Amino acid sequence: MLMAIRLRGMDAGETLALTQAMASSGRTLAWPPAWHGLVVDKHSTGGVGDKVSLALAPALAACGCKVRGTQGWGGDGGGSTSPCAHVCPPPPQVPMISGRGLGHTGGTLDKLEAVPGFCVSQSPEEMQHILERVGCCIVGQSAELVPADRVLYGLRDVTATVDSLPLITASILSKKAAEQLAALVLDVKFGGAALYPTQESARELARSLVDVGTHLGIRTVALLTRMEQPLGRAVGNALEVLEALECLEGAGPPDLRHLVTVLGGVLLWQCGMEQGAEQGRKRLTRALDDGSALGKFEAMLGAQGVPPDTARDLCTGTPTQRRQLLGEAKVCEELPAPQEGWVQEVRALPLARVLHHLGAGRERAGDPVNLRVGAELLVGTGQHLRAGEGGDPRSPPCQPWLRVHHEGTLSAERRHELQDALCLGPEPPRDLPPLVAETILNHAPSSVTTPRPLPSLLRPLPIVPVPAAAARALRAASGRTGGGGHRAKVKAMLRSLRPIQQLCPALCHPQRRLSVPPACPRLPLRQRLAVASAVAGAVAAGWLYLRHQKEEQHRARRLRHLRALSLGQGDFELRDTSGTPRRKADFLGRWVLLYFGFTHCPDVCPEELEKLSRAVELLERDPALPPVQPLFVTVDPERDDAAALARYLRDFHPRLMGLTGTTEQVRAAAAKFRVYVSAGPRDADGDYVVDHSVLTFLVDPDGMFRDCYGRSRTAEEVARSVRAHMETYQPLPAAGGE
| Positions marked catalytic | 43, 149, 156, 171, 175
Residue 489 three-state SS: helix
Rounded Cα distance between 262 and 659, Å, is 58
Residue 148 three-state SS: helix
Which positions ≥6 away from 222 have C-beta within 8 Å? 185, 186, 187, 188, 206, 207, 209, 210, 439, 440, 441
* Ordered DSSP codes for 644-682: HHHHHHTTS-TTPEEEE--HHHHHHHHHHTT--EEE---
Residue 207 three-state SS: helix
Show the CA angle centred on residue 294, arms to residues 126 and 284, nearest 5°: 100
Show the CA angle centred on residue 53, arms to residues 48 and 55, nearest 5°: 110
Which positions ≥6 away from 145 have C-beta within 8 Å? 26, 27, 28, 29, 97, 124, 175, 178
Three-class secondary structure assignment of 322-354: HHHHHCCCCEEEEEECCCCEEEEEECHHHHHHH
Which positions ≥6 away from 433 have C-beta within 8 Å? 226
Question: HSE (CB half, 13 Å, CA atoms) of 174?
Answer: 29
Element (H, E) at 629: strand 628-634
Task: Please answer whether residues 166 and 9 qualify as being in contact, where contact means their C-beta atoms are separated by less than 8 angstroms.
Answer: yes
Rg of the chain taking only CA atoms, in angstroms: 34
Show the CA angle centred on residue 390, arms to residues 386 and 393, nearest 5°: 105
Task: Please answer whether residues 241 and 253 qualify as being in contact, where contact means their C-beta atoms are separated by less than 8 angstroms.
Answer: no
Element (H, E) at 648: helix 642-649
Beta bridge partners of 594: 631, 697
Look up residue 298 and give its amino acid: E
Beta bridge partners of 683: none
Look up residue 662 and give its amino acid: T
Helix axes 308-316, 237-248, angle to 10 degrees: 70
Rounded Cα distance between 584 and 593, Å, is 14
Rounded Cα distance between 25 and 177, Å, is 12
Task: Please answer whether residues 301 and 311 qualify as being in contact, where contact means their C-beta atoms are separated by less than 8 angstroms.
Answer: yes
Rounded Cα distance between 609 and 596, Å, is 10
Q: Residue 649: how many CB atoms within 10 A of its CB?
A: 20
Residue 443 three-state SS: coil
Rounded Cα distance between 223 and 229, Å, is 17
Beta bridge partners of 593: 630, 698
Rounded Cα distance between 690 and 599, Å, is 10
Rounded Cα distance between 55 and 52, Å, is 6
Element (H, E) at 136: strand 136-140
Strand bridging mode 591-597 / 628-634: parallel
Residue 550 three-state SS: helix
Residue 653 three-state SS: coil
Q: What share of the chain is helix, strand, coil (3-state, %, to 5)?
A: 45, 15, 40
Task: Please answer whether residues 248 and 232 qualify as being in contact, where contact means their C-beta atoms are separated by less than 8 angstroms.
Answer: no
